[in-house]
Chains A and B, each alone.
Chain A
Amino acid sequence: MSFTDLLDETRLSIFANKARSALTILGIVVGIAAVIVMVAIGQGAQASITKSIQAAGSDLLMVMPGFGGGGGFGGGVRSARGGALTLTTEDMAAIAKEVQGVKAVVPELQRRYQVIAGGNNTNTSIYGTNQDYPGVKNLTIAEGSFLTAEDVSSMSRICVLGATARDDLFGTGATGVVGQRVRINGLEFRVVGVAAAKGGSGFGNADDAIYIPLTCAQTLLAGDPHLTLIDVQATSADEMTVVKQGVTDLLLQRHHISDSAQADFNILSQQDILNTASTITGTFTIVLASIAGISLLVGGIGIMNMMLTAVTERTREIGLRKAIGAREGDISMQFLAESVALTGLGGLVGVLLGFLVSWGITQSGLTTTSVSGSSVLLAFAVSTGIGILFGYYPARRAAAMSPIEALRYQ
């Protein structure tokens, strides 16, 4: 049996039962589309998280306060991890001065306070920091200016609003905010600038923030000289390891700790965060794809069911074909081709549908999706594989029929 004849036969039998073929294909369409959409959502999430983490700079190390004494019991009373106060302005200055390969060091003292402007009221993150913050954190100023070194040393009561904080306090997209006054925890600050929106949402939203001079945060708001974070920017991404080691050694020495396992601080690079986030979104994608994969499996069983029905229904046809000279291979190829054609068609429509739905989800703004070529290719290979897998048994059954029995079948 030639390939063109095979195609011809396949086309004929698929079109002979249009409604049934279409419904069977639908099972595969839904399965494939679901896999593509789910993987697209997963990868979209991964891409957007990666992007927002990278937006903060890939040459960045974050030094966070931690606990001495490592883990385990018997360490005495411990306060919450984030509440540990081990980093000081002096540590920061020392890092800037003594560690090789450091481009800039930025202190952060972050607390949440109630902020009032006119009749509006919001609870947002207040960052006490210095003039280097925008450069290190990729923050751009949309209006006015950022804090200056002068502002920090003279403890000026001024602030720079993040885009969301501006929206909450003065109305969405409000302009002419510079020069206005806001009250942070009851103290009045003058607005000198507004940062451009960085995007991103959820935790760690860089837009829902107000920046004030570190000195103000330490003395006027927190009443505490400790820092909640020190950002260290390396001269290049290649210097990261060296800088990380340098900062670790310096802080251990300054904090009089001999065993690095007992360190009272943690150093996290953007790469570490990126890796963790990738692991999480990767698992998320696998979970989503597995759920979608189940619907694909159900679709495959639908194909097998239809093929088995077809083999039974067409028993006499099989008998006739054998009587006039079809070999076993001809019969099994015919049924296998039919099942692969059904799943292949289903795969094709499913890929298109998957694209369409993913696009729709992105357009609707629910979440960003990204359809990868590999998931499309995989979906296609899987659907064809399903055709072979679930078509094989019915095809073998048809081929193995005795022509006499098949011809006699009523």
Chain B
Amino acid sequence: MIAVEDVTKVYQSGAGAETIALDGVTLTVEDGEYVAIMGPSGSGKSTLMHILGCLDSPTAGRYLLDGQDVSEMSSDDLADVRNARIGFVFQAFNLLPRATVLRNVMLPLVYSGIPRARREELAVQALAAADLDEQLWDHLSNELSGGQMQRVAIARALINDPTLVLADEPTGNLDTKTGEIILQTFERLNEQGRTIVLITHEPDIAKHAKRVVHIQDGVVLSDERTSTAEEVRAR
């Protein structure tokens, strides 16, 4: 479970002016939820994602990740938290070029000190979960198509068995059809019990989630459950 309690984030710009990116946001995501966070650019959704992903600390308020307050951790401790509990999927895939698919997927394990022998086993499981064709596993990441790259990125996000999969516009660089397939992958992962938070500005994409949170000007505008799991399956 993740819980954001009255979180505020204020940026200091160069001239001394303050920008309030988040203004007292409270949000709880239970295990197994599939939440889309929506909002136009500048709404604070990216800032919220950074805080949820432990990439940034709030100026005020608390962030509890699995009951642990991570809002005042050092950058190294946050790195460890990200490594163990959060899986990122980015719009731009962010794979290491000139490295094989397997190597890309195993990259988080390099920083978690899991013995080499065990890494490949975990990577194979993650790649299977992300539904990537087995014959692509030894290809270099820059030889793949966009959809395939995003599957590799999903596998990489899953390899540490995270509490939360955080996807930032995961279909932004993909055509609609490929994007749809990626979104189906997320749905399937959610059905298997993964907690997923999807950041997007497109309503079409947000409607795949079971709960949509709208953010504007740093505050939560609405928080509604759009459909039950059964309805999602029926679509």
Q: List chain A positions with a Cβ less than 8 A from chain B.
A: 1-2, 4-5, 9, 12, 16, 316-317, 319-330, 403-404, 407
Contacts A12-B99, A324-B111; is A329 near B76 (CB within 8 Å)?
A: yes
B81-113 interface (Cβ within 8 A of A)? 82-84, 88, 90, 92, 94, 96, 98-99, 107-108, 110-113
Identify which of B55, B98, B116 contacts A323 (C-beta below 8 A): B55
Given A324-B83, A325-B83, A407-B94, 18 more pairs with CB closer than 8 A: A4-B116, A12-B99, A16-B98, A316-B94, A317-B94, A317-B96, A323-B94, A324-B88, A324-B108, A324-B111, A324-B156, A325-B112, A326-B79, A326-B111, A327-B80, A328-B79, A330-B111, A407-B90
A-B contacts, 27 of them at CB < 8 A, read A2-B113, A316-B92, A316-B94, A319-B94, A320-B90, A320-B96, A321-B107, A322-B55, A322-B79, A323-B53, A323-B82, A323-B88, A324-B82, A324-B108, A324-B111, A324-B156, A325-B83, A325-B112, A325-B160, A327-B75, A328-B75, A328-B76, A404-B50, A404-B56, A407-B55, A407-B90, A407-B94
For the complex, what is the distance from the CA of A4 to the CA of B111, rounded to whole Å?
A: 12
For the complex, what is the distance from the CA of A324 to the CA of B80, rounded to whole Å?
A: 9
Please give the distance in Å from B19's CB to the nearest CB on chain A.
Answer: 15
Please give the distance in Å from B176's CB to the nearest CB on chain A.
Answer: 24
Please give the distance in Å from A333's CB to the nearest CB on chain B.
Answer: 11
For the complex, what is the distance from the CA of A127 to the CA of B113, rounded to whole Å?
A: 82
Please give the distance in Å from A78's CB to the nearest CB on chain B.
Answer: 79
B residues in contact with A5, CB < 8 Å? 110
Please give the distance in Å from A26's CB to the nearest CB on chain B.
Answer: 22
Number of A-B contacts (CB under 8 A): 64
Among A4, A317, A323, A329, the most chain B Cβ lie within 10 Å of the Cβ of: A323
Q: What class of interface size applies to chain B in its complex with A?
A: 20 to 34
A residues in contact with B116, CB < 8 Å? 4
> DSSP class of A's interface residues: helix, strand, loop or mixed?
helix
Q: Which 8 A-B pairs have CB atoms at the shortest separation, nearest pair first? A: A325-B83, A325-B111, A324-B108, A320-B94, A327-B76, A327-B79, A5-B110, A16-B98
Q: Which residue of A lies closest to B157 (CB)?
A: A324
B residues in contact with A4, CB < 8 Å? 116
For the complex, what is the distance from the CA of A265 to the CA of B198, rounded to whole Å?
A: 99
